[in-house]
Amino acid sequence: MAFDKKQDQRNSIPEPNLLLHVRPELARVFYDLFQAGVFVKAKIGATIQAFLCDGLGLDPHYVEERIQTMFLNGKAVDDPTSAVIPDHAVLALSAAMPGLLGATLRKGSFYSAMRSEISHAGQAAVSPHEGKVLLKLFNLLPGEIGSFLLDLGVWVKGDTLHNLIGKRLNRLAEGCLRAELDGRNVDVASLAHKEWPADQEVFLRVHAE
Amino acid sequence: MDRMLRIDMGAEGGPRATVAEVGEYAGLGGRALTSALVSKEVPPLCHPLGASNRLVIAPGLLSGTAAATSGRLSVGCKSPLTGGIKEANAGGQPSQMLARLGYAAIVLEGKPKDETLYKIFINKDGVKITEDNSLKMLGNYDLVDKLKGEYGDKIGVISIGPAGEMKMSAASIACTDMEVRPTRHAGRGGVGAVMGAKGVKAIILDDAGTKMRSPKDPDAFKEANKRWVEGLRKHPVTGQGLPAYGTNVLTNVINEAGGYPTHNFMWGRFEGCAKISGETQAETENARGGEGSATHGCHRGCIIRCSGTFHDKDGHYVTKQPEYETVWAHGGNCGIDDLDAIAMLDRLDDDFGVDTIEMGATIGVAMEAGLAKFGDAQAAINLVKEVGKGTPLGRILGNGAAVTGKVFGVERVPVVKGQSMPAYDPRSVQGIGVTYATSTMGADHTAGYAVATNILGVGGKVDPLKPEGQAELSRNLQIATAAIDSTGMCLFIAFAIMDQPETFQALIDTINTFYGLKLTADDVTALGKSVLKNERGFNARAGFTAAQDRLPEFFKKESLPPHNIVFNVTDKDLDSVFNW
């Protein structure tokens, strides 16, 4: 099991927010979002381990065994229990990767000395507060925890959402059962024409039924 | 697999084939055999395109057996690109077929006295060498179609395209895949130019009537191979990640690490990487070709199946799934974020018979020189077409990045020993820079790829918590890689044996039960060292010194964004790599 408890990102749902009720097979359409990253709530100053397990509700065993590769602001992380999330953090996660570099970049890799210049090292103390992390998922992870995170809710840039809906409109029209924009039912097709502010984040939830 | 086929292409009266016992090369396969033979029989100072050079084509030790994922074919010679020894290997069907036909190697020797082009047909009944000038300047795809018309569609083909005939230093040797398409290439080092210099356009293999090679202990071999297969299948890389996304799954991660060479090694991140990533590529392939199109083996018996099939928007076949290095070379390295354009470039490379890494790096250098703009996919396609046509510009480009950089006065030319660097910037991961610099092959990521040194016992039992020197890690990786390259096993097996000691044991048991041996991890180390010793010795006699074991100067001077680091491994450390 990838999850041991579910955290709620929706305590105070900001506008604009979009809730899509979709057939299960449509959820993967949204996995594209994880390549460029989605924003999720996080306790800044917490460790990566705490963020993944306590914040997102992932099973510690899953984090230990399955998430073999972690980058915090582009630096390879060896110990998620000590690496602390700063403000404006970009956290990228992947399952084990092929290639010499794939092996080298793994957390705690036998070959970690080969990439010491880009290894995550000590950092300045961060005072704890609420914030957001740009979370990227690669390789097998979107398929394994993407639906869970989308159900929980993520923030995406308006232009990113616009591009995704435009690109996948046909599949959305087939697989989306109901759409709610800021709590009001809307026609799925109309979403393609909506002017999402490019620099504004939209709170997106995708609920597979 | 106890015979060697030698063909003297310059013999009086025309090419002459001789079949003999393997002799002193008995017990060797793949890279171990090619490098031993080249080291012993090729004068190191000979011209790579001259009569004295030899082209050695050798299946691995386990090729032609039921052992899973054992179909790599090694090609060795003196390289026209580097001037040193070369082993390039490829997947596809020919390695299995050649082994089942009983040959440990084909050795092409001498040189025809004129421009006559030959094809060589090999089946269980023997060898037939025929003049066939109708094949001149055919692309690999048309060539294979023509050969299928003549010999049927059960053949395997080892061939060159126009680039090989024009003896370009970036020329590859193509091997056909399960669909008899020329998609798998021994790409690196200009081995195709040597085949062209020998006047051989194609070697056609027909293994009808042959059987799978028999192990010494069939029951034990079957049991060991079963454990071997189970180990590969259960590992997340060989059993899940590679089958689902192929090698291009690396794009996002290397980009995130800031080690994705972009715009001819100017930056370490590419803005358009998500458009050409393995995840996007697999989704595109499955959407266009049907679910499962992103998972395909390059030869029968491969259970990793890291390849796939790329169709265009209308569902027509374009090429096999472009590999990570190809997508990088023609993609991010050239600022191109269009998968369709990259697939077309891959198709053209395969058809003309050129190395995709060398061509992509060359186009990057050409773009820096101003021949095209970074990001201009159509211009890149046009430049590669120049290579296929053999125009004066195409002849320059087809001789690789080093030549192109010289001709157009470019300083940032990412080569070592004349060979282009693959898709990992050595400033980000400095250990791979050590391998690029010191490999006997020129800049080559696969020279130190066997990430299982701890399990293999190469270099002793190193404490994984202790930071080891870059030189020591690179040395151990190069030794382990040379050993695995000799088995015919795909290097991707290393990921499973790195994490699963029982899978390594299954591999050792597979080899031992097949040959009736009692190999140990120490023997693996000894084999790897002997291969490297042969190769280093050849290169030294060819005039290589420590000065060739260096990265280009710009890697020490230009810091790489986003981490703003330069390559800082000392020359002293580089020179210590082969001190064992």
Q: Which pLDDT tens digit goes with each residue over B532-548?
A: 999 999 999 999 999 99
Contact B398, B405 (CB under 8 A): no
What is the ipTM, given to two decimal places? Answer: 0.91
Closest partner residue to B431 (CB to CB) among A96, A104, A140 is A104
Tokens 């020894």 belong to which residue? B85
> A146 in contact with B at a CB cutoff of 8 Å?
no
Asked whether residue A47 is assigned to any structural domain, the reply reads yes
CB under 8 Å to B472, separation ≥6 — which residues? B459, B462
CB contact under 8 A, A97 and B241: yes
- Domain hosting residue A69, numbered range: 17-208
> B462 in contact with A at a CB cutoff of 8 Å?
yes
Integer Cα distance of B291 and B282 in angstroms: 10
What is the least distance, in Å, from the CA of A66 to any CA of chain B?
9
A–B: how many Cβ contacts below 8 A?
152
Q: Do strands B118-123 and B200-205 pair parallel, antiparallel, or not at all (unpaired)?
A: parallel
Mapping DSSP onto H, E and C, the string for B395-413 reads HHHCCHHHHHHHHHCCCCC
Provide the CATH topology of domain B430-540+547-575: 1.10.599
Integer Cα distance of B262 and B95 in angstroms: 35
> A6 in contact with B at a CB cutoff of 8 Å?
no
> B250 in contact with A at a CB cutoff of 8 Å?
yes
Residues of chain B with CATH 1.10.599.10: 430-540+547-575
**Low-confidence residues in chain B, pLDDT < 70:** 454-457, 459-468
The tally of domains found in chain A comes to 1
What is the least distance, in Å, from the CA of B247 to any CA of chain A?
7
What per-residue confidence (pLDDT) applies to B465?
45
Which residues of A are less than 8 Å from B339 in CB distance?
Answer: none
Asked whether residue A1 is assigned to any structural domain, the reply reads no
Helix (DSSP H) and strand (DSSP E) numbers for chain A: 8, 10
Which residues of B are less than 8 Å from A79 in CB distance?
Answer: none
> A160 in contact with B at a CB cutoff of 8 Å?
no
CATH superfamily placement of domain B3-205: Aldehyde ferredoxin oxidoreductase, N-terminal domain (3.60.9.10)
pTM (predicted TM-score): 0.95
Tokens 């899953």 belong to which residue? A62
Angle at B543 between CA B537 and CA B546, to 5 degrees: 80
Asked whether residue A154 is assigned to any structural domain, the reply reads yes
CB contact under 8 A, A99 and B449: yes
CA B147 to chain CA mean position, Å? 24
Which residues of B are less than 8 Å from A142 in CB distance?
Answer: 279
What DSSP letter does each residue of B241-272 carry, written as one string? IHHHH-GGGHHHHHHHTT---BTTTTBS--TT
Q: How many CB atoms lie within 10 A of CB A47?
A: 17
Closest partner residue to A136 (CB to CB) among B256, B427, B494 is B256
**Low-confidence residues in chain A, pLDDT < 50:** none
Q: What distances in angstroms separate CA B54 from CA B7, B37, B80, B500, one per listed residue? A: 10, 9, 12, 39
Closest partner residue to A69 (CB to CB) among B242, B253, B495 is B253
Residues of chain B with CATH 1.10.569.10: 247-293+308-420
What DSSP letter does each residue of B17-65 carry, written as one string? EEEEE-GGGTT--HHHHHHHHHHHHS-TTS-TTSTT--EEEEE-TTTTS
Asked whether residue A7 is assigned to any structural domain, the reply reads no
Q: Which pLDDT tens digit goes with each residue over B335-394?
A: 999 999 999 999 999 999 999 999 999 999 999 999 999 999 999 999 999 999 999 999
Angle at B498 between CA B493 and CA B499, to 5 degrees: 110
> B445 in contact with A at a CB cutoff of 8 Å?
yes
> A35 in contact with B at a CB cutoff of 8 Å?
yes
User: At how many degrees (to 10) do helices B30-41 and B470-485 cross?
Assistant: 90
SS3 A154: strand
Q: What is the CATH number of domain B247-293+308-420?
A: 1.10.569.10
Q: What distances in angstroms separate CA B348 from CA B81, B143, B177, one per listed residue? A: 20, 14, 17
> A168 in contact with B at a CB cutoff of 8 Å?
no
Closest partner residue to A101 (CB to CB) among B429, B453, B498 is B429
> B280 in contact with A at a CB cutoff of 8 Å?
yes
Q: Which two tokens stand for residue B181?
A: 């398409």
Integer Cα distance of B296 and B358 in angstroms: 25
Q: Which pLDDT tens digit goes with each residue over A112-136?
A: 988 999 999 977 788 999 999 999 9
Integer Cα distance of B281 and B97 in angstroms: 31
> A36 in contact with B at a CB cutoff of 8 Å?
yes
Closest partner residue to A117 (CB to CB) among B245, B279, B428 is B428
What is the least distance, in Å, from the CA of B361 to any CA of chain A?
19
